[in-house]
């Protein structure tokens, strides 16, 4: 399996459990890893055969604006579901960070993996289901 990634995608969201957080947008940072088979795109050199990371970035940014959840865990799960459903990726890793949530930490957040990931090579991982 190949991986298409997007790193440090900036998102503005109304997110949090405190009343003041429900009144403002906060900056989140999103890292994505998406499992795909890039062979067809590599041979054709055609974007139609590839996972379009610009389109994914735009869709996720619009999606996050629509959400108004309390927890980064909830938002990360919904982003993973969106990517699997709308972009047909069999495996996704989502890292969602909320910088500034803890004043004495650079950032805090969650990392989740969803779907099936099959790797070949030295690691010889079989199928990992989450």
In this prediction, residue 118 has a pLDDT band, given cuts at 50, 70 and 90, of confident
- Please answer whether residues 36 and 52 qualify as being in contact, where contact means their C-beta atoms are separated by less than 8 angstroms: no
Across all residues in the chain, what is the average pLDDT? 90
- Helix ranges (H only) for the chain are 39-44, 53-66, 72-87
- Please answer whether residues 41 and 50 qualify as being in contact, where contact means their C-beta atoms are separated by less than 8 angstroms: yes
Range of the domain at 98: 2-129
For residue 74, what is the domain's CATH number? 3.30.1130.10
- For residue range 58-98, what is the model confidence (pLDDT) as tens digits? 999 999 999 999 999 999 999 999 999 999 999 999 999 99
- Please answer whether residues 100 and 47 qualify as being in contact, where contact means their C-beta atoms are separated by less than 8 angstroms: no
* pLDDT of 123 above 50: no
| Per-residue model confidence (pLDDT) at position 117 | 83
Positions marked catalytic: 98
* pTM of the full structure: 0.87
DSSP three-state, residue 83: helix
- What total of structural domains would you count in the chain? 1
- Please answer whether residues 29 and 97 qualify as being in contact, where contact means their C-beta atoms are separated by less than 8 angstroms: yes
């Amino acid at each position: 399996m190949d991986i298409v990634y997007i790193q440090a995608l900036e998102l503005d969201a109304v997110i949090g459990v405190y009343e003041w957080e429900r009144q403002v947008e906060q900056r989140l940072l999103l890292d994505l890893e998406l499992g795909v088979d890039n062979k067809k795109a590599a041979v054709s050199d055609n974007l139609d055969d590839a996972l379009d990371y610009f389109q994914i970035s735009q869709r996720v940014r619009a999606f996050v604006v629509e959400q108004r959840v309390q927890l980064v865990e909830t938002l990360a799960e919904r982003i993973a579901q969106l990517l699997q459903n709308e972009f047909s990726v069999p495996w996704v890793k989502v890292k969602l960070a909320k910088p500034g949530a803890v004043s004495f930490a650079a950032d805090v957040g969650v990392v989740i993996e969803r779907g099936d990931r099959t790797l070949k090579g030295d690691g010889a991982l079989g199928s990992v289901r989450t």
